[in-house]
Structures are given as structure tokens and as C-alpha cells.
């Protein structure tokens, strides 16, 4: 009888832990963001563009086509932008957080009307400085990149 009670308690605890993990959005899990950084570094620019949300926020400017996203990833890849990228900080984002990206009307409207569900800010360090990624949701198990800002001071 005692074994049954102990097993039931252990099983219940395991279920609670798993339920807690399943409830957290992929874009707000450190391991998912670290895997995304690795994947973006390894992928060709076209593959990286598939993990990009359109429209895309690039340092306060809104990119509206997939070709723009591909060109951006091509240039970032050629420069080695994501080589040795390390996650410094991860926190959830909301429409009220738009000034963190850029305090402009265009970015405010983007955050109010285009920002997908469960967004997060991922601050990363690269050989080129600190950058801010805006992430949400998931695609093939990775968070989707909605925006890039930086280098930050």
C-alpha cells in the first residue's frame, strides 16, 4: 500500500512538471532560443528566412517581403553575425514594450497590430556586440524571429 502511495505521488509530481513545461511558449524557453541561434548560424540564408515572420522588424524598419528577409539573412550570414552568439537574457514582450525596440510611431503600430501571440525579447551577445531578437511561436520546433535590433549600447 505504501509503495502505491509513493508511486502515485511521484507520478503526480511528474505530470505537474510536464504540464508546466508544456504551457510555456517555445519563444520563452531558453533551450529553444539557444537551439534557434545554433540553427540560424548553420542554415543557409534561405533556410533562416523560413524561420522569419513577415512583416519583419529590422532595427526600427519594417521589412514586408520574404526577399527582404532573405537578403537580410544573407548579409548577416556573410558577416558572421551569429557566429558564437550567446543568449544573455530572455523575457516576455508585450505591445507596451515597443520603445525597447524603437520609440517610433511605426514600431508602436507594429507592436500594437502585428505582434503575434506570446512574443519574447532575447538579448544575445555576438562578436559584433549585443543585439535584441524579437521572437514568437514556433516553426519546426524553433521560435520564429519577428525582429532584430542592434548593436545596442
* Number of C-beta neighbours around residue 63 at 10 A: 18
**Is 6 inside a domain boundary?**
no
d(CA 4, CA 47): 50
pLDDT digits (tens, 9 = 90+) for 4-57: 554 545 444 444 444 444 455 655 788 889 988 988 888 777 778 888 999 999
Q: Look up residue 27 and give its DSSP letter.
A: G
Q: Residue 121 pLDDT > 50, yes or no?
A: yes
Q: pTM for the full model? A: 0.80
| Residue 44 located in a structural domain | yes
> Residue 51 domain-assigned?
yes
User: Residue 104 has what DSSP assignment?
Assistant: S
Name the domain count of the chain: 1
Residue 133, judged by CB atoms within 10 A of its CB (0-12, 13-18, 19+), counts as: buried
Q: 119: domain range?
A: 25-152
- State the CATH number of the domain containing residue 70: 3.10.450
- Please indicate, yes or no, if residue 117 is contained in any of the structural domains: yes
What tens digit of pLDDT does each residue of 64-108 get?
998 998 898 888 888 888 788 999 999 999 999 999 989 999 999
Does 11 reside within a domain?
no
Please state, for a pLDDT cut of 70, what percent of the chain lies above it.
Answer: 82
Q: Residue 55 is placed in which grid cell?
A: 512583416
Whether residue 29 is contained in a domain is answered as yes
Q: Where are the beta strands (DSSP E) in the chain?
A: 52-58, 61-63, 86-92, 120-126, 129-139, 142-152
| Residue 18 in domain | no
Amino acid at each position: 500500500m505504501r509503495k502505491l502511495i509513493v508511486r502515485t505521488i511521484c507520478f503526480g509530481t511528474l505530470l505537474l512538471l510536464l504540464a508546466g513545461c508544456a504551457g510555456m511558449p517555445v519563444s520563452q524557453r531558453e533551450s529553444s532560443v539557444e537551439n534557434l541561434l545554433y540553427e540560424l548560424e548553420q542554415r543557409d540564408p534561405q533556410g533562416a528566412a523560413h524561420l522569419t515572420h513577415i512583416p519583419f522588424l529590422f532595427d526600427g524598419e519594417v521589412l514586408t517581403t520574404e526577399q527582404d528577409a532573405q537578403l537580410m539573412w544573407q548579409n548577416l550570414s556573410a558577416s558572421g553575425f551569429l557566429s558564437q552568439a550567446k543568449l544573455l537574457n530572455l523575457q516576455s514582450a508585450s505591445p507596451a514594450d515597443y520603445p525597447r525596440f524603437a520609440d517610433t510611431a511605426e514600431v508602436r503600430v507594429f507592436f500594437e497590430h502585428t505582434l503575434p501571440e506570446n512574443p519574447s525579447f532575447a538579448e544575445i551577445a555576438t562578436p559584433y556586440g549585443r543585439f535584441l531578437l524579437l521572437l514568437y511561436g514556433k516553426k519546426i520546433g524553433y521560435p520564429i524571429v519577428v525582429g532584430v535590433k542592434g548593436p545596442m549600447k
